[in-house]
Amino acid sequence: MNAHEIDYTIHGEEMQYVEIVLDPQEGVVAESGSFMMMSDGIQMQTIFGDGSKQDEGILGKLFSAGKRLLTGESLFMTVFSNAGVGRKEVSFAAPYPGKIIPIDLSELGGKFICQKDAFLCAAKGVSVGIEFSRKLGRGLFGGEGFIMQKLEGDGMAFVHAGGNMSKKELKAGEVLKVDTGCVVGFTKDIDYDVEFVGGIKNTIFGGEGLFFATLKGPGTVYIQSLPFSRLAGRILALAPKTGSTTRGEGSVLGGIGDLLDGDNSF
């Protein structure tokens, strides 16, 4: 498998986007909704799956699309190709505050495993597939179920981490324990499992969940400080009830203000 060779620049600090430079006839495949802007001369084409098996006929296309259906993603992806003369740029934006991580698959043994919603875009020719868990605990309690996403090939891929990103290089036998939602991805040699936190007080009053991920080296692990599920949970918890008004968290009036406004329902 030979993916297209692409150049790129990552812009920004907290709300990043990646600008990819394409030579004539080069292309990049991206998730729906990640497109930001492009030069004149870039062509868009919607395809089944990731485009890595387009030369294998209709069965190859259906197999590629079916893999994405299992991960809960759309059946379709978009290819952006340089159909003009000279170099052209196309940019893709992160979906929420965080960091865009460039992954050179040629330096990682041709495979990288990540959360099923972490993938942003990749050079055309990179395969975006599924990784089944062979361990019951990881599948039931790992936060990502039995299925994670795997990126295979020899090109560049880009994944997104929420908040700040930490890159950990684990030696052989070295173990790192992480909140299950904070795992962005890891290299193919990492042994990944899920463990019970243990202890009655930890389980009932800890507030950190019942399980954490254990990642055993050798290999590289990428950790995010703010998983989108955690961000969404906080927003929902602070969202006002239907019909209520808010005065901010530090308001002196608080509930009394609601009563004065007539919001005295129980």
Q: What is the pLDDT of residues 131-172, one digit of tens each?
A: 876 555 555 554 544 578 899 999 999 999 999 999 999 999
Domain residue limits, the chain: 7-239
Which of 105, 231, 226 minimizes the C-alpha distance to 158? Answer: 105
Note the pTM of the prediction, 2 decimals: 0.78
Whether residue 17 is predicted with pLDDT greater than 80 in this model: the reply is: yes
53/71 Cα distance (integer angstroms): 18
244/54 Cα distance (integer angstroms): 53
For 5-9, 87-91, 176-180, which range has the lowest pLDDT when averaged over its residues?
176-180
Q: What is the pLDDT of residue 179?
A: 86
- DSSP E strands: which ranges in 31-110? 35-38, 42-48, 76-82, 88-93, 98-104
CATH 3.30.70.1450 fits 7-239, yes or no: no
Q: What is the pLDDT of residue 65?
A: 55
Q: What is the pLDDT of residue 202?
A: 47
Compute φ and ψ for 55, nearest 5 degrees.
-90, 5
Which of 182, 205, 202, 206 minimizes the C-alpha distance to 194? Answer: 182
163/166 Cα distance (integer angstroms): 10
Q: How confident is the model at residue 61 (pLDDT cuts 50, 70, 90)?
A: low
Query: Average pLDDT in the 162-191 region?
Result: 93
Q: What is the pLDDT of residue 265?
A: 46
Q: What is the pLDDT of residue 207?
A: 47
Q: How confident is the model at residue 14 (pLDDT cuts 50, 70, 90)?
A: confident
Whether residue 220 is predicted with pLDDT greater than 80 in this model: the reply is: yes
Whether residue 209 is predicted with pLDDT greater than 90 in this model: the reply is: no
